Amino acid sequence: MSSDEFSNGDNPELESGTLKETVHLSQMYQSWFLDYASYVILERAVPEITDGLKPVQRRILHAMKELDDGRYNKVANIIGHTMKYHPHGDASIGDALVQLGQKDLLIDCQGNWGNILTGDSAAAPRYIEARPSKFAHEVLFNAKTTSWQASYDGRNKEPVALPAKFPLLLAQGVEGIAVGLASKILPHNFNELLEASIKILQNKEFDLYPDFLTGGMVDVSRYNDGLRGGKIRLRAKIILEDKKTLVIREIPYGTTTGSIIDSILTANDKGKIKIRKIDDNTAADVEILIHLAPGVSPDTTMDALYAFTECEVSISPNACVIENGKPRFMGVSEILKVNTQRTLDLLKLELDIRKQELLDQLHYISLEKIFIENEIYEGIKKCRTTEEIDSAIFRGLKPFAKLIIRAVSEEDVHRLRKIPIERISRYNSARADEAMAGVNEEMAVVNDHLAHLIDYAIEYFRQIRKKYGKNRDRRAEIRSFDNIEAAKVAAANEKLYVNREEGFAGTSLKKDEFVCDCSDIDDIIVFRDDGTFIVVKVTNKIFVGQNVIHIAVFNKNDSRTVYNLIYRDGKNGKIMVKRFSVLGVTRDKEYTVTKGTPGSKVLYFTANPNGEAEGIRVELKPKPRLKKTSFDFNFAEIAIKGRSSIGNTLTKFAVRRIEQRLEGISTLGSLNIWYDETVQRLNTDDRGILLGAFSGADRIITLTQSGQYRLTSFDLSTHFDEDMILIEKYDPEKIYTAV
């Protein structure tokens, strides 16, 4: 027998004498695992699309409805009552209840329910209280339209799904991890969901983007309708209080003030940012004060906070729901369409039920009127048995069949038999006619709603918004974010040194030549005297090649930095001159800026951050018949080309010395600056409003709604105030008028 089989001894027969079936362990594990996976997916982690609730949430709300008498109930009592329906312990129920309460939608809370901003937990269940909100009563519960099933132990009845007439799933959001799949649906704005549902009923296009109670800013350009593969970026709202202080007013969804402060302190310890101290003044609203170190740019620090801390986070949604007993991935637009159709179906079902109730009411009022006014009860005086009484009533009603709404049932007869004599004696026919008229009037309204069901549903959504949509405006501001290059905003927390002869560079060579301040994520560019260069990452110590003539921090795609170069082509070749920029290169790959001829040598080299072109004096080595042994040259005479260009011939003769005579003047001219309103940033890529051409000490002026103005440089990392009403190039002669 193989090791993966069960056996009851060597005898294949059981005590009863029948053959025993062999069961393979692999089959048992497969069956058990599938059962477990199905249970976790269907009964614990993934929400049902019909009401947007997980089973534990549905049981909590059902238990709260059963307990509700208008007053608050202790959460401990609610948890205990829910355990009649929920097969898991009180801890899972308590956690789910607190999370529901913190969403501020279905539960009216009293006491300390924790704080989603700070991450503080709720008080113990014996101290806090809850009851269903008025909104929950209106959209979530209706025993007449609810389907029921037996609870896990068969002792009670619980809802299969609550008759939710509102897209709860998208309003609250959900996160659950099952076996083999997960669900992450982000919360959306209450009023926007209602407006989108109305547009669905009107066959209009709609857009749907997430919204968060914590506020902040959200970039939804890659939301992908909430499906797998999509991603949103969220940022804290950071305000420039003054030149030394930044204030965080709103935080990204999924973070807390504590986690953000921890991430800022970690980034500060690693040298990514430089701050002096942090004060957390958060109470009802977020207020984190970040005090900057002296000499630190607040704009650069703001970008660094987004790049290195939880002030910016990314979330990948994954909309998975249970539909018809199976998990299914669908976008939030489709989920809303399904929810809207379900609301329409429930409204129709409620109208149908009410119509039937009115018909029954009208039938009985008319039946009672016929029974009393025509004294049909007189025919039962001589009857001795119930059968005879019923027959007498049926016979008495028969002549009035055309006046009766539907066929008379035994239940109708039994109700007529139970009418008290006192009521018969005081019967008022006019009052009965009024009651029938009132029923007919309501019946007409119900029939009109059924005939115009779409309009009725639209009005229903509008009434929900009118009653419960106050103070539920969008909190997370939809914005487009620019991509922050971490290397550009990281604080210069290291010092770069170089040993030019031996060819080593790094942050640990403190006895060698100091180059500049840098960050530990910077790249550095190194030029050697043989005309080769390389870009490497900053480390403690790295070999970059001997005879270094230039080393600096490298900024990728920097078209403003121009290198002026004079080199000898080979050992005895021509003297070449060129101007070039270094844009995109591969790290740790060696490049050449000469023709590559063996023996080539760099004779003159400068790096110019704004495209400066200096004037030089070139002295040649004396040679027979050489009349002119020196001449002047200005680099502005040649064009800026790529690093692989070979350059122009400067002279055919050997050079003895080259020295600079004139300061370099930029040949790039002024820099055109645009302002992009969507990301509220400056750029040089023709995006947004052209502010003008900037150079040197030119400034930008901004005016705000609050009556303040600010002068800033044209640095692309500059941040601007939210309430800005004017931005333009500063002209000191211009006069502004304000009222």
Same domain, 119 and 179: yes
pLDDT class for 257, splitting at 50, 70, 90? very high
Please state, in angstroms and rounded to a whole number, the distance separating the CA atoms of residues 109 and 102. 9
Same domain, 514 and 624: yes
Same domain, 533 and 649: yes
DSSP state of 643: T
Looking at 294-428, list the stretches that DSSP marks H as alpha helix, in order from N- to C-terminal side.
Answer: 298-308, 332-373, 386-397, 410-417, 421-425
Give a yes or no: residue 675 inside a domain.
yes
**pLDDT exceeds 60 at position 164:** yes
- Mean pLDDT, to the nearest integer, of 291-315? 88
Instruction: List, for residues 646-688, the tens digit of each pLDDT value.
Output: 999 999 999 999 999 888 777 777 788 888 886 688 888 777 8
Give a yes or no: residue 392 inside a domain.
no
Per the model's pLDDT, the better-predicted residue between 212 and 33 turns out to be 212
Handedness of CA 9, 11, 17, 23 (dihedral sign): positive
Return the amino acid letter for 231. K
Please say which residue of 296, 315, 334 terminates a domain. Answer: 315
**pLDDT exceeds 90 at position 171:** yes
Q: Of 196, 195, 191, 239, which is closest to residue 217 (Cα–Cα)?
A: 239
Give a yes or no: residue 269 inside a domain.
yes
The 10 Å CB-count burial string (b at 16+, else e) for 580-610 is: bbbeebeeeeebebbeeeeebebbbbbbbee
CATH number at residue 307: 3.30.1360.40
Domain with 115, as residue range(s), is 34-201
Instruction: List, for residues 495-542, the tens digit of each pLDDT value.
Output: 999 999 899 999 999 999 999 988 888 899 999 999 999 999 999 999
Same domain, 634 and 542: yes
Name residue, tokens 């105030």.
721
Please state, in angstroms and rounded to a whole number, the distance separating the CA atoms of residues 581 and 141. 70
Same domain, 96 and 184: yes
Burial of 321: CB neighbours in 10 Å, binned 0-12, 13-18, 19+: buried
- Mean pLDDT, to the nearest integer, of 11-29? 58
What does pTM read for this prediction?
0.77
Of 39, 127, 377, 456, the active-site residue reads: 127
Give a yes or no: residue 693 inside a domain.
yes
Please state, in angstroms and rounded to a whole number, the distance separating the CA atoms of residues 576 and 604. 10
Instruction: List, for residues 80-118, the tens digit of each pLDDT value.
Output: 999 999 888 888 899 999 999 999 999 999 999 999 999
The 10 Å CB-count burial string (b at 16+, else e) for 256-285 is: bbebbbebbeebbeeebbbbeebeeebeee
What's the mean per-residue pLDDT of the chain? 87
Say how many domains are in the chain.
Answer: 5
Give a yes or no: residue 483 inside a domain.
no
Q: Angle of helix 55-67 relative to helix 75-82, nearest 10 degrees? A: 120
Same domain, 5 and 127: no
CATH number at residue 100: 3.90.199.10
- Mean pLDDT, to the nearest integer, of 173-181? 79
Instruction: List, for residues 684-701, the tens digit of each pLDDT value.
Output: 877 788 998 887 678 899
Same domain, 534 and 612: yes
DSSP codes of every residue in 80-119: HHHTTT-SS-HHHHHHHHHHHHHTSSSEEEES----TTT-
Q: Angle of helix 55-67 relative to helix 90-102, nearest 10 degrees? A: 80
DSSP state of 539: -
Give a yes or no: residue 432 inside a domain.
no
Please state, in angstroms and rounded to a whole number, the distance separating the CA atoms of residues 671 and 486. 24
pLDDT class for 263, splitting at 50, 70, 90? very high
Same domain, 511 and 660: yes
Give ∠ CA 718-722-726 in degrees, rounded to 5: 75
Active-site residue flag, 497:
no
Same domain, 27 and 38: no
Same domain, 574 and 700: no
- Mean pLDDT, to the nearest integer, of 415-439? 81
Return the amino acid letter for 604. Y
Same domain, 61 and 185: yes
Give a yes or no: residue 585 inside a domain.
yes
Same domain, 241 and 101: no
Dihedral angle at the C-alpha atoms of 378, 382, 385, 390, nearest 10 degrees?
Answer: -30
What are the CA-CA distances from residue 518 to residues 504, 542, 553 (Å)? 16, 15, 7
Give a yes or no: residue 20 inside a domain.
yes
Cβ-contact 468, 135 below 8 angstroms: yes
Please state, in angstroms and rounded to a whole number, the distance separating the CA atoms of residues 515 and 502. 16
